[in-house]
């Protein structure tokens, strides 16, 4: 379950910028890597080989896990606006629960049309809420 959560939150989900998905001629290895996200997992970063340094891992997967933090720091000035600084965690990554909840409410599907798409919310997913007067 933990690995599913980490994987879900690293790829496009729950970011306020609504990161795009690229398909067809719009997709490239670089664009794909730049639309993943780094996350801060607090103490768990060290246990999971700095899994929160996901952007640099996608851009240069040959970098060994024990150099990902320093490679990320070196890449930030080069990436500029294309690098999204992760929210800082306390010892436990409880801040991710709010991000996960937001994503579950808003990131339901991407359109079948187009080569640059974004997650969209399905307004019918949770059904219609009926308000009745008594």
The tokens describing 95, both together, are 């801040």
Residue 55 placed within a domain: yes
pTM, two decimals, is 0.79
DSSP state of 42: T
| Cβ atoms of residues 56 and 72 within 8 Å | yes
Neighbours of 104 (CB within 10 A): 13
Residue 84 placed within a domain: yes
Q: What is the residue-level pLDDT of the chain in tens, covering all 134 positions? A: 887 887 777 666 777 778 898 999 999 999 989 988 898 999 988 888 888 898 999 999 999 999 999 999 999 999 999 999 998 999 999 988 888 888 888 888 889 999 999 988 888 876 554 555 65
Residue 126 placed within a domain: no
User: Residue 56's domain spans which residues?
Assistant: 2-117
Residue 102 placed within a domain: yes
Q: Mind listing the pLDDT tens digit for each residue in 15-45?
A: 777 889 899 999 999 998 998 889 899 998 8
Q: DSSP states of 83-110 as a string?
A: --PPPPP-SS-THHHHHHHHHHHH--B-
Closest CA to 96 of 35, 49, 40: 40
What was the pLDDT predicted at 76? Answer: 97
What was the pLDDT predicted at 132? Answer: 56
How far separated are the first and last CA of the chain, in Å rounded? 43
What was the pLDDT predicted at 51? Answer: 80
Residue 31 placed within a domain: yes
Match 């996901």 to its residue by tokens.
Answer: 54
Residue 6 placed within a domain: yes
What was the pLDDT predicted at 11? Answer: 66
What was the pLDDT predicted at 6? Answer: 77
Q: Which residues contact 41 (CB under 8 A, 6 or more apart)?
A: 6, 48, 51, 52, 89, 93, 96
Match 């992760």 to its residue by tokens.
Answer: 86
How many domains is the chain partitioned into structurally?
Answer: 1
Residue 87 placed within a domain: yes
d(CA 84, CA 99): 15
Residue 67 placed within a domain: yes
């Amino acid at each position: 379950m933990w690995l599913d959560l980490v994987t879900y939150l690293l790829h496009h989900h729950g970011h306020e910028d609504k990161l795009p998905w690229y398909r067809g001629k719009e997709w490239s290895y670089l664009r794909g890597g730049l639309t993943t996200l780094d996350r801060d997992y607090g103490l768990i970063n060290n246990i999971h080989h700095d899994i929160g340094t996901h952007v640099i891992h996608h851009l240069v997967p040959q970098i060994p896990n024990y150099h990902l933090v320093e490679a990320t720091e070196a890449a930030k000035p080069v990436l500029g606006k294309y690098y999204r600084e992760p929210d800082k965690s306390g010892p436990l990554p409880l801040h991710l629960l709010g991000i996960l909840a937001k994503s579950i409410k808003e990131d339901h599907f991407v359109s079948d049309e187009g080569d640059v798409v974004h997650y969209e919310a399905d307004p019918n997913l949770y059904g219609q809420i009926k308000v009745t007067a008594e």
